[in-house]
Amino acid sequence: MRGLFHFEATWNAVKKRFAVRRWGGPEGGDSQTVPPELLESLPVMFLPALRDAETALAPGPRSRLGCAIAYHLAGAGLNPLVLERRGIAQAATSRAAGLLTRARANPCLLPLVRQTYEDLRMLEAESGDDLGVRRTGSLYVGASEPVLRAHRELMAAAVAQGEKILRISPVEARELVRWLHLDGDEEIFFMPEDAFVDGYALGSAYARAARRKGARILEDQSDSHW
Ligand SMILES: Cc1cc2nc3c(=O)[nH]c(=O)nc-3n(C[C@H](O)[C@H](O)[C@H](O)COP(=O)(O)OP(=O)(O)OC[C@H]3O[C@@H](n4cnc5c(N)ncnc54)[C@H](O)[C@@H]3O)c2cc1C
């Protein structure tokens, strides 16, 4: 059985954000044959281009994942060009705690995280480098009502997408993390397959691998007016 789904992102210059429209069926149609809940549940994410060739490079906090995208585009046989105004992996990526958790409130992020695990395996295999991935698992410890609610929602979403989650006791948590001080009435979830990695190491590895596959990544481009 095959289905046809459309995902359309249009830049709204006034609101300065993307308006997203999803529909099932033929081009331009607003078919009611595909339930809106199904369309909304599809994990599709639009990553805006690093720059708009017709205007200027658009600065801002928007996530771009430039080197990872270049790695995949070059792997698909294209010749991507990344224009980086400063240096690779020196912005948010270098500040990240680097937790590659599969517990994501935004369902679009889980496929990206899963892909990152797959990429880590490939990046290490292709280069022979050890990227220092630490497969420790992650703990979600909650005591107050709002945190408990948020954690339960996160965990329910992850379980629904097939992720492994264990409910453990404070004593068991202390065995995993010796320095953890707990009162004993906390609710604790353990995601045993989670890992963390240094953001700079990962971003730079993407850049090296993308270059090896033919991508061009130019740094210090703040004065460029392409
Ligand atoms: C304190 C902190 C902790 C975090 N912890 C985690 C975590 O544990 N787990 C997790 O998954 N995420 C975490 N994050 C989020 C994560 O760091 C980001 O989602 C990720 O680094 C985004 O990568 P990026 O390549 O899109 O952005 P960046 O690393 O910020 O890279 C964007 C790049 O674009 C360049 N740029 C911007 N504008 C222009 C322009 N006009 N022209 C040319 N170049 C431009 C910048 O110089 C920069 O190099 C954390 C973030 C912070 C700040």
Report residue 42 as tokens.
């599809």
- 38 and 126 inside one domain: no
Residues 83, 50: Cα–Cα separation, whole Å? 8
Report residue 1 as tokens.
């059985």
Interval 109-132 mean pLDDT? 95
Q: Is residue 223 in some structural domain?
A: no
Rank 52-61, 90-99, 105-114 by mean pLDDT and report only the highest: 90-99
42-51, 60-69, 145-154, 183-192: the lowest-pLDDT one:
42-51
Domain count of the chain? 2
- Looking only at the bridges linking them, the beta strands covering 216-218 and 81-83 are parallel
39-43, 45-49, 134-138, 177-181: the lowest-pLDDT one:
45-49
Compare 62 and 82 and report the one with higher pLDDT: 82
Q: Is residue 68 in some structural domain?
A: yes
Compare 225 and 43 and report the one with higher pLDDT: 43
- 146 and 119 inside one domain: yes
Q: Is the CB of 93 under 6 A from ligand 1?
A: yes
Phi, psi of 48, deg, nearest 5? -65, 155
90-94, 120-124, 163-167: the lowest-pLDDT one:
90-94
Q: What percent of the chain has pLDDT over 70?
A: 85
Q: Is residue 226 in some structural domain?
A: no
Pocket test for ligand 1, best of 46, 84, 117, 217 (most atoms within 8 A of CB): 84
Q: Are 101 and 164 in contact (CB under 8 A)?
A: no
Task: Say which amino acid occupies 178.
Answer: R
pLDDT score for 35: 77
pLDDT score for 113: 94
pLDDT score for 56: 45
Ligand 1 atom with the shortest distance to the CA of 68 = 25
- Residue 11 pLDDT more than 80? no
- 18 and 100 inside one domain: no
Identify the domain containing residue 199 by its residue range: 48-218
Q: Is residue 224 in some structural domain?
A: no
- 71 and 168 inside one domain: yes
- 34 and 139 inside one domain: no
- 87 and 173 inside one domain: yes
CA of 93 to the centre of ligand 1 (A): 4
* Residue 53 pLDDT level (bands cut at 50, 70, 90): very low
Q: Is residue 225 in some structural domain?
A: no
Task: Tell whether the torsion through CA atoms of 72, 75, 76 and 82 is positive or negative.
Answer: positive
Helix or strand holding residue 156 (H, E): helix 145-160
CA of 91 to the centre of ligand 1 (A): 5
Task: Say which amino acid occupies 71.
Answer: Y
Residues 194, 173: Cα–Cα separation, whole Å? 15
Q: Are 140 and 154 in contact (CB under 8 A)?
A: yes
pLDDT score for 22: 79
Residues 67, 82: Cα–Cα separation, whole Å? 8
Q: Is the CB of 84 under 6 A from ligand 1?
A: yes
Q: Is the CB of 98 under 6 A from ligand 1?
A: yes
- 79 and 14 inside one domain: no
pLDDT score for 46: 64
- 105 and 204 inside one domain: yes
pLDDT score for 143: 94
- Residue 168 pLDDT more than 50? yes
Residues 186, 171: Cα–Cα separation, whole Å? 10
Cβ neighbours of residue 222 under 8 Å, at least 6 residues apart? 85, 86
* Residue 54 pLDDT level (bands cut at 50, 70, 90): very low
* Residue 27 pLDDT level (bands cut at 50, 70, 90): low
Cβ neighbours of residue 221 under 8 Å, at least 6 residues apart? 83, 84, 85
Q: Is residue 52 in some structural domain?
A: yes
Phi, psi of 147, deg, nearest 5? -70, -40
pLDDT score for 43: 66
Q: Is residue 116 in some structural domain?
A: yes
Task: Say which amino acid occupies 128.
Answer: G
Q: Is the CB of 97 under 6 A from ligand 1?
A: yes
Q: Whose CA is nearest to atom 34 of ligand 1?
A: 84
Of 9, 24, 42, which closes a domain? 42
Please state whether the predicted TM-score (pTM) of the whole model is above 0.95: no
- 143 and 71 inside one domain: yes
Report residue 104 as tokens.
């994501």
Compare 172 and 41 and report the one with higher pLDDT: 172
- 66 and 161 inside one domain: yes
Residues 16, 26: Cα–Cα separation, whole Å? 29
